[in-house]
Amino acid sequence: MDRVGRRKSLAATGRAADGWLPGHAADWLSERYRTSRPVIDEAASAAGRDPSEVRTILNFPGRITDKPLAKTRDDEGRWIGGSVDQWVEELTSGVLEHGMSGFILFPPGHAAHDDISLGRWAREIVPAVRETIAKEA
């Protein structure tokens, strides 16, 4: 999609949608997010909507490791994963500091989900993020 088409699509999202998924594993640190979210917010405001009504949900790729990683983002700033605690810290920050509404775990590259990672996501990471957010609220 060209820039004009993408801008029109983002504006339509702001005017009418309940949520937005940026794609390309973009998160609050990405150029895609920084240039796209303001278009959505402006269109929402122009339509008389509170921009926060358009929730942002992210595809979040990465490995869940047993030990903390020294570096949780690659050289381009993309999240690559880490230990359960590192995931909890990153996702909690996404919600509390950047207004993210949800996350979809997907494996890095084109790998398939494995039951161990999905289990750790569901039993360890998600409950800990919810608990931390509830304490902060």
Give the pLDDT confidence of 60-115 residue by residue, as tens digits.
889 999 999 999 999 989 999 999 999 999 999 999 999 999 999 988 777 788 88
Q: In which residue are the tokens 């640190």 written?
A: 29
Q: What is the pLDDT of residues 27-49, one digit of tens each?
A: 999 999 999 999 999 999 999 99
CA distances from 58 to 2, 29, 34, 43, 94 (A): 22, 12, 14, 20, 10
What b-and-e string marks burial along 59-95, b requiring 16 or more CB atoms within 10 Å of the CB? Answer: ebbbebbeeeeeebbeeeebbebbbbebbbbbbbebb
pLDDT band at 1 (very low <50, low <70, confident <90, very high): low
pLDDT number for residue 104: 93
| CA–CA gap between residue 60 and residue 121 (Å, rounded) | 12
DSSP 1: -
Q: In which residue are the tokens 């950047």 written?
A: 98
pTM of the model: 0.90
> Nearest-CA neighbor of 85 among 132, 26, 31?
132
> Nearest-CA neighbor of 97 among 68, 56, 39?
56
